[in-house]
Amino acid sequence: MRVLLYEEKRGITMEFKHCGAKARFEDVEDIHLSAAYRRYNSQLFDGLLSSNVKVRWAELIGPRGFFEVNGWLPNVDPSEPYLFIDSRLKCLYPRTSNLVDLVLLHEMCHFRARNHDEAFVVEMLTALERASWEPLVTKCVPIPIEEIMSKRS
């Protein structure tokens, strides 16, 4: 994957040549996001995810000039991966953290399951179950949760 990284007046832009997407961000740590990442890694993933992850607020720009997602894990590079949360959600955090925490947790699951397939759903539901958040997603899954959860290894 070819990635261009360049500085602009408004911060750093990371551009992904294969898909035309960009993340514009300031490489500044948000202590609340970083603490949430460490807490979820420890409690929900048994500390098995990378500890080098830089969680950053970013303006996410898709190839059509906008991005349809609220978070993005552009590259699972274990040396120094970035995990981006859409900066439009920043006004909610940390005061009203549920949505941002769900987006963060969703992106963390991509370290284990890159695509939005059955393996990803299992990872996400496992994490939600460990966090006691299952009621938030019960009506969002088109097949019974019990059926998906029974496939966990």
DSSP symbols for 79-94? TS-EEEEEGGGGGGTT
Render pLDDT for 115-127 as a digit per residue (tens, 0 to 9): 889 999 999 989 9
> For residues 70 and 113, which has the higher predicted lDDT (pLDDT)?
113
Which residues, including other chains, have CB under 8 Å from residue 89's CB and lie 6 or more apart? Answer: 70, 99, 100, 103
Neighbours of 28 (CB within 10 A): 9
83, two tokens: 């995990």
Summarised one tens digit per residue, pLDDT across range 50-66 is 898 899 998 888 777 65
3-state SS, residue 43: helix
Q: What is the pLDDT of residues 28-45, one digit of tens each?
A: 999 999 999 999 999 999
Indicate the average pLDDT of the chain: 78
- At 130, the amino acid letter reads R
Query: Over 50: is that where the pLDDT of 139 sits?
Result: no
